[in-house]
Amino acid sequence: MTRRNFSREMLLNKTLSIQNEGLKRSNDELASRNEILVNSHFMFEEKWTKIVNAFEFYKDYYKKHVDIISSRKSPQSPNRSALPSDVG
C-alpha cells in the first residue's frame, strides 16, 4: 500500500512539474510580449507628441501671420504680379 501511494505521488509530482514548466514558459512569453507592447506604446506616444507639437507650432505661426498668408492667396494682391513664377 505504501509503495502504491509512493508511486502515485511520484507520478503526480512529475505531472505537476511538467505543468509548472509550461506555466513558466507561458509567463516568460507573456512578459516578453508585454515588454514589446510597452516599448511600442512608448514610441507611439513619442511620435504623436512630436506631431501635436508640430501642429501647435504651425497653428500659432498661422495665427501670427494670417494676414500675410491670406494676402498671398488673394489674386488682387499687388505683390502677386511681381512674382517670377507668374511671368509666363
Please, are residues 48 and 56 in contact by the beta-carbon 8 Å criterion? no
Q: What is the pLDDT along the chain (88 residues), one digit of tens a residue?
A: 688 999 999 999 999 999 999 999 999 999 999 999 999 999 999 999 999 999 999 999 999 988 887 887 655 555 555 455 544 4
Q: Are 63 and 71 in contact (CB under 8 A)?
A: no
**Structural domain of 62:** 2-74
Instruction: Tell me, yes or no, whether 85 lies in a domain.
Output: no
- Distance, CA of 33 to CA of 43 (rounded, Å): 15
Question: Does residue 46 lie within any of the structural domains?
Answer: yes
pTM for the full predicted model: 0.54
